[in-house]
Structure formats: C-alpha cells, structure tokens
Amino acid sequence: MLVSPSLLSADFGCLAPDLEMINASEADYLHLDVMDGVFVPNISFGFPVMKAVAKRCTKPLDVHLMIVQPEKWISQVRDLGAEIMNVHQEACPQLHSVIQRIHAAGMKAGVTINPGTPVNTLVDIIEDVDLVLVMSVNPGFGGQKFIPHAVRKVNELRQLITSTASSAIIEVDGGVNLETGRLLAEAGADMLVAGSFVFGADNPSDTIKAIMNILEIQNLSKTYGERKALDNVCLSVEKGAVYGLLGPNGAGKTTLLRIINSILVSDSGSVKIAGKEAELGVTSSILGYMPEERGLYPKMRVDEQVLYFGRLKGVSLDVLRRNMSEYMDIFDIAECDRHRRVEELSKGNQQKVQILSTIVHEPQLIILDEPFSGFDPINGQLLTNLISRLRERECTVILSSHNMPAIEEMATHIALVNKGKILLDGDITDLKHANKSGEIAVTVSMPISDELALDSPAIKSITRMADNKHRHGVNYSIRPAENACNNDIILALALQANILRFEEVLPSLTDLFLKYTGKFSADSNISTIS
C-alpha cells in the first residue's frame, strides 16, 4: 500500500520538523491539497508555500487541486517538480484536454471524484489517466468522518480499471485510519492519503508504517514451562512483500506462525492483521496458512478438496472455480489429475494441492511453512511463478523455510529468528549491503602467467582466485584500503589489464544465516559472491 500524508494536517507554525519527519519516514509521497474558496468552501495555501515545501521535501509531490480552472496552473505545478497533478472531474468541462496537457508537462495525470460523483462518469477517461482519487469525505476541510460508501466506489472503480485494462491506480482521501484503510485495501485501493491520522499521532512515522503494513507484531512473548519460545518479538510485514522467515530448528518460527493464525495464544504482546487484532473467525478469512504438518483428505478428489477449503473461507464457488483453474494451470496440474483422489497423486502433486487449498480464496496474507518440501527444481520454479502471480494481486506471502537459495530467489524481505528473538529483519538487498565485507570481485583479461601488481595505495591486498567463471579472464579478490574509492581502484587496474568485471561481493542469505546464528541450515549451500 502506498501512503501519501496530507500536508494540510501538518503544523504550519513549524513546518520544517514535519517535513523532516516525512523525509525520514517510509511515506511514498507528500499530498498537497490546494483550495481556492470557490470550488470548495475553504482556502488552504498557494504556490509560495508549495515552493518552500518542495525545496525541503525529498518525497515526490502529489498535488491535488481543489480549484476552478486547474488547467491554468499546470506549468506552475510542473515547476514545483511535482510527480502527480490531480484535478477534479467536476471542475473540468474539457477533462480529456486537461489530462493531455498534464502529460505534456511531464507529470502523471490524476482525476478526482467527489463523494456524490458516480464512478461511471470516468468510463471515457479511465484509460488515459494514471490515477483516480476517490474522495471519501466532502472536500474542503480536514478531519472529517469517513463516508462508508467510498468502499463500494473503490470496488466499482477497480472493476472498471480491470475491464478496460487501464493502468490507473486508485487513491483515496479522507478519514483514513487503520480500520478504514483495511476496508479500502480490500476493495482495491492502491494509495491512501492520511492527514490528521498521521500528523496527530504520537509517532507519525510509525503510523505511516502501520498503514502500509498487512501484519504488525508488537512485543510478542510465549513461554513453554521454563523455555522462552518467543521473547519480545516485533515484526512488521508490508503489503505485497514476499517475506522469508528463517531460523534454525527450535528457533520459534512455528510458534510465531501459530500465534499469527490464532492457533496459539501469546503470553503478551499483540498481532494485528490488516489493522485488526488477530482473532479466530475474524481474521481467518483474510489468511491462508499451510502448516508444516499437512492436512489433506486422501479419499477426496483434488478439485473437490480445493473447493472445500475455499468454501470454509466464505468465498463463492464461482470465484473459487475461476481461481482454482488459473492456479492449477500455473502449477501444471494435468486435467486428468484434477479429478483423481489425493491418495493417487505423487508426493509433489499432493504438495501442490496443499498449496492450492491454502491460496484458492486469494487471502491478503498467505503463510507457507516449508513449501518446498517434496518439490524438485521444476516444481520449485512453478511455485516461484505462482508467488509472482499472487504478488501481482497484492497478496503478501510469508515463506518459512530452510531452503536458502529458494528464499534468496523469491523473497523481498527476511526475518531471521533464533532462540525466540528476531536477529535480523528488513529488505534483503539492504541487509546484504549493511553486512558486506568491502571485498571486490574483479575479472581481468590478461595472460594467465601474468599477475596484477599491488602498486596502488587504494588497494590493501589482491588475491588470485582458483575459480574461473569467466572463460577469457582471470578472477581476483581485492581488499580496498581504508577510505579508498572505487574509481582509484579501477584506475590502478586499468593500467595493467582490461577489466571484464568489477563488483562488490555481497553476502548470500546462507552467509547471513551463519554470521548471526553460527549454525548451518539444511538445504543451504555456502557461497561468497551473490
């Protein structure tokens, strides 16, 4: 979920700290509501203020013009460096022309509809815009109560976008909090404008993060006798992410997953899914959980089994049949196998049925415990394809596994658990860079008998590597001197040989696992360059 906090709710007597907070936060945009006292019964701020804001704000600007004749101000909005310019459908008799002019100015074009404006007024423009902003309050004042029928409008708009193959995203503005944000996300919203809910919070940065996250775990603890399975665990999972949950056996992963699914009750702490406290029967419909201990009915036909589990989640048969057919195709389940009894299938195909039974209702949050068990490389790739499709539909996937190479290929984020504590948590790429050794892998073309000379103050050491991944080159490992820059190293090398490859050595997930746990993981292969 994208988040665009509204400047309208900031402290205008002391804007600088609020802008610094936005810059440091995980917000995607800064929303600027411009009001003229004519189109709406209020006046907000003009271009002098916006210019000052633009100089200090590092986030892209999402400019929303609640004014008459917004086309007069396209060049001024462009000069701010704005990424998005939003105009009201109700204020633009020549809407298509305005959209064209915004695009010509190099900005994304958005169209806004008021609470009383039907979605069908956008039929002739939906394929031309980049964004549709649905007002969930009457425009003109901040802090208004959310209008519930906005959820229905978002759903209608999502259907229109799908049916026309439009690339427009859906933004919603007004009365946004965790609860209304959850409803809007379920209806198909892509971006939320949050004003007073963010700027009025004790910790606005954490509030922004909470809006974006599908799963929020705070201070979770669980004890079995004298053993602490979980020790004050905190974890945030962003919507649409693929999260790898890693850790040695007995680390606490299974306990954590069971608490998320309300199978176990924690001793303390909280779990929120899409803004709701995790509770059996309340959040179970938006969850899909495949435990390590499989649970299929061996005498039941494959298609009947998948539909049965989907119906338990309250989804209609028509939707389930459509989803089942699509996912079976992705998973390469033959037509003849779809009508066989589960016990007649191979172990790999039974695993596919287990996964399909978990995801057929397309839950917002999918948790798969050891999903690669029983899969050969071909089926592993099919699972990768399936998860890619789920991500396209903004499903969030948590993969608990010891298969480091598979997690490395599929996951966007990881959490490493050991002895009930989170040791490592975050974006995989960021974690790799934070834990890099500084080593540089270099391949040069030169006669094998020759050696690179250590004759630059920028280079601490050069080691010739035994492996030769590059047919026409020689591989070296270089340790830069302290405070050395890459350009100095490249210059020193270029004087001696042609450089074929020059890249930082980043740790693999296996390397990180070993560094933080000191243990080997099953199915992992040690590597030094990724």
**HSE of 275, CA atoms in CB hemisphere, 13 A:** 17
Contacts of 224 (CB under 8 A, 6+ apart): none
Where are the alpha helices (H) located in 393-437, listed in sequence order?
A: 404-410, 428-434
Q: Which of 18, 33, 190, 511 is an active site residue?
A: 33
User: Is 28 labeled as catalytic in the residue annotation?
Assistant: no
Q: Which of 18, 62, 130, 173 is an active site residue?
A: 173
Distance CA 157, CA 187 (A): 9
The CB density around residue 83, as the number of other CB atoms within 10 Å, is: 15
**431 neighbors 424 (Cβ within 8 angstroms):** yes
Distance CA 126, CA 29 (A): 22
Residue carrying structure tokens 């006292």: 37
- What secondary structure letter does DSSP report for 96? H
User: Is 173 labeled as catalytic in the residue annotation?
Assistant: yes
**In the sheet where 498-504 sits, what is the strand order?**
459-464, 474-480, 440-445, 498-504
151-185: b or e for each residue (b if 16 or more CB lie within 10 Å)?
bebbbbbbebbeeeebebbbbbbbbbbbebbbbbb
Structure tokens at 133: 């902003």
Q: Which of 61, 49, 55, 86 is nearest to 71 (CA)?
A: 86
- What secondary structure letter does DSSP report for 293? S
Burial of 337 (0-12, 13-18, 19+ CB in 10 A): middle
Query: What's the one-letter identity of residue 398?
Result: I
Q: What is the DSSP string of 428-472?
A: HHHHHHHT----EEEEEES-TT-------TTEEEEEE-S---STT
Burial of 483 (0-12, 13-18, 19+ CB in 10 A): exposed
- As annotated, the active-site residues are 33, 173
